[in-house]
Amino acid sequence: MRIYSILADLVLIFHTGVVAFNLLSLPVIIVGRLFRREFIHNPWFRYSHLASMAVVVLLAVFNKICPLTDWEGKLRSLETTGVAYRKTVIQQWVGEFIYYDFAWGTVALAYCIWFIAILVTLWLIPVRRQRTPW
């Protein structure tokens, strides 16, 4: 059924969004600080970024595959049962953004360094409580 391929592509797109959030939020926070943007102090934004990256680091340190990668792979294997496998356009282009061929230790080290940078930024650019409008 084609539905599994579509679902796998949707998981891949969501996964890419999570990767982009983890990767781009730190530079956004730093640039936002330079331009005195208030949103960079938002606790929901900052703590969700920290928590999301913490999950990535834990998975890497314990040598576990990301559940989203696993889910996408299972959906794709359901799609290819009994037929020749072909990559979808989404899988070809979007997958190239988040899947890479580096040694696991190198990737885990990079994730740990990025997480430490997030922690340092959390200390240097602190979270502020949101003011209630009433």
Task: Decide if 57 is inside a domain.
Answer: yes
Q: Whole-prediction pTM value?
A: 0.85
Query: How does pLDDT run across 21-41, given as a tens digit for each residue?
Result: 999 999 999 999 999 999 999
Task: Decide if 133 is inside a domain.
Answer: no
Domain range for 105: 2-124
Task: Decide if 28 is inside a domain.
Answer: yes
Rounded Cα gap, residues 127 and 129, in angstroms: 7
More reliable by pLDDT, 52 or 101: 52
Task: Decide if 54 is inside a domain.
Answer: yes
Task: Decide if 129 is inside a domain.
Answer: no
Task: Decide if 101 is inside a domain.
Answer: yes
- Give the chain's domain count: 1
Query: How does pLDDT run across 40-97, given as a tens digit for each residue?
Result: 999 999 999 999 999 999 999 999 999 999 999 899 888 766 555 567 777 877 777 7
Alpha helices per DSSP H over the chain: 2-34, 43-61, 67-79, 89-98, 104-124
Quick check: 60 and 111 in contact, CB under 8 A?
Answer: yes
Task: Decide if 70 is inside a domain.
Answer: yes
pLDDT at 95: 77
pLDDT range class, residue 114, cuts 50, 70, 90 = very high
Query: Which amino acid does the sequence have at 26?
Result: L
- Neighbouring C-beta atoms of residue 133, cutoff 10 Å: 4
Task: Decide if 134 is inside a domain.
Answer: no
